[in-house]
Amino acid sequence: MTDIGDTQELRSEARAALSEALHEIKRMIVGQDAMLERLLVSLLAGGHVLLEGVPGLAKTLTVKTLAAVLGGSYSRIQFTPDLVPADLVGTRVYRPDTGAFETELGPVFCNFLLADEINRAPAKVQSALLEVMQEQQVTIGGTTYEVPLPFIVMATQNPIESEGTYPLPEAQVDRFLMKILVDYPSAGEEAAVVGRSLHEPAVVQERLALGDLRRYATAAETVLVDRETIGYAVALADATRHPAAYGLKEITPMVEFGASPRGPIGLVQAARVLALLRGRGHVVSDDVRDLAADVLRHRIVLSYDALSEGVTADELLERVLAAVQEPGTGDLMHEAPAIVRAR
């Protein structure tokens, strides 16, 4: 049995090392602190990430910098409508000089895969990516090849373009642990970005090895989660499926389908990592609450009524978070704020 002191020491080491890695990434990336923290959380929780934001918000640079600091291999795939599955996973190639077929592995065989503008690829390509995301392996010519671990897909999509795009299937979207909305930087942060563009870009240093990441993921697994906190995560997901049971009858027509069971599972796993980064050996409801929108927003299928009125999943989640009782807060539910509809 692992000694309690050794476990606490490992958690302290993990927090210090991850904080140092985060500081090194920030030498290249200005602002976007919430996005960087959630990328680390997803990495240690073993989940994939969908980044959504307009062009120019350093999504691609962030993933490349993350790979450089954490010491893993990195590949970038620019998704286009003419892409085929072999461009991702690889294929068998005939060699005339030997008269035999050889397997050439594709760019998915890496630790950090950036799927840039993932919604521009057709369904067959997205299906091939879905297999490797879920199974962490690829089958070519009847032979199965495992991708290196850790393996994380960080996909980006542009929310303002719809021409020439293919909406991601719900089954694939559900495989992403988080959907992170990347917003514009503040005026001060943008001024810092412009100032840095006038000089040579910073050269980031490798701060962690892949072996360290595996050890720190093990440290996150030692973070305790009590029954009440698990119940809170489950209740948040359940409230998206049965809003009326939580006093939210008015939003029932706005939800076609609520979050799947992967929602609370991922929420608790991510909360353990966040608690580790915050220096605690146990999860509190604030950890779950802070990550709820990122883990659940893409798992809610809005109805036509919600779409026609401009209601977003985040607005519904605000209502859910306000209505679901947190552990230790008494019997009364919070008053739910009114939904702000887009004009």
Q: Looking only at Cα atoms, what is the longest distance across the chain? A: 77
- Cα–Cα distance, 29 to 62 (Å, whole number): 7
Say what the pLDDT of residue 188 is: 84
- Cα–Cα distance, 2 to 18 (Å, whole number): 22
Tokens representing 256 are 């076609």
Give the residues of the chain that fall short of pLDDT 70.
1-5, 160-166, 329-343
In this prediction the pTM is 0.84
- Please write the tens of the pLDDT for every residue from 100-119: 888 888 899 988 899 888 88
Say what the pLDDT of residue 331 is: 46
Phi, psi of 101 (to 5 degrees): -95, 140
Say what the pLDDT of residue 1 is: 42
Say what the pLDDT of residue 4 is: 67
Say what the pLDDT of residue 264 is: 94
H/E stretch holding 282 reads none
Say what the pLDDT of residue 317 is: 93
Q: Is 193 exposed, middle or buried (0-12, 13-18, 19+ CB in 10 A)?
A: middle
